[in-house]
Chains A and B, each alone.
Chain A
Amino acid sequence: GAVVSQHPSRVICKSGTSVKIECRSLDFQATTMFWYRQFPKQSLMLMATSNEGSKATYEQGVEKDKFLINHASLTLSTLTVTSAHPEDSSFYICSALTRDSSYGYTFGSGTRLTVV
């Protein structure tokens, strides 16, 4: 089936630095990817929708200048957390829209970001 590879799985960074998270679709083309954030013991919250070759669409309350999304190819979308602060510490998960038997949504394994 469709696989989305997300990297890194864990990252620790200092306050004020930037972190890039990558999601790659393996063996299929993902024209659309979704980025979610999940705080401990909470549900996944949609941050933005990323479409290949166009600007991402951000959900209300998500700062587009802080969470930069790039979807320059059909197999790669990146999320860059800029000038990270401790409150940005969270679990970030991407999802690619596919056409396999699971009706279209394949998730990455997530990235645990800790800002110190």
Chain B
Amino acid sequence: GESVGLHLPTLSVQEGDNSIINCAYSNSASDYFIWYKQESGKGPQFIIDIRSNMDKRQGQRVTVLLNKTVKHLSLQIAATQPGDSAVYFCAGVSGNTPLVFGKGTRLSVIA
């Protein structure tokens, strides 16, 4: 979730399968949520975001689901490719406050 500083859990997925990465958040006041992808040695890269008044948003090969009742976000990646291998973080945003990142999940795609 939005606690930080913990070691990353890992998700291994076969190439071509769908991936689901989960995130729990604690701040109910967040206006929107963002998913980032971080490859080794690089800064975070924006993937998709969702406003707090939405339940679902789709992008190219990615879908974000938001369940405010249980404070849960998920990122679904369709037809996972080797290039999707990275660490994925969720972040909640309220106004212009700095992003607070969740602990992240390492996605490993098995060819």
B40 to chain A, nearest CB (A): 10
Are B99 and A95 neighbours in the complex by a CB distance under 8 Å?
Answer: yes
Main secondary structure of the interface of A (DSSP, over half): strand
- Chain A, interface size category, equals 20 to 34
Take A42-B4, A42-B5 as given contacts and tell me if A34 and B42 are in contact as well, using a CB distance cutoff of 8 Å.
no
Given A41-B7, A103-B49, A105-B34, verify A46-B41 contact (CB < 8 Å). no
Given contacts A107-B44, A109-B43, contact A43 B5 (CB under 8 A): yes
The total number of A-B Cβ pairs within 8 Å is 64
Q: Does A86 contact B (CB under 8 A)?
A: no
Find the B residue at minimum CB distance from A38.
Answer: B38
Which of B32, B42, B49, B101 contacts A43 (CB under 8 A)?
B101
Q: Give the docked Cα–Cα distance between A110 and B104 (Å).
A: 17
Which chain A residues have a beta carbon within 8 Å of chain B's beta carbons?
A: 6, 32, 34, 41-46, 49, 91, 93, 95, 97, 102-110, 112
Smallest CB-CB A-B distances: 7 pairs: A107-B43, A102-B46, A43-B4, A34-B98, A110-B43, A44-B101, A109-B43
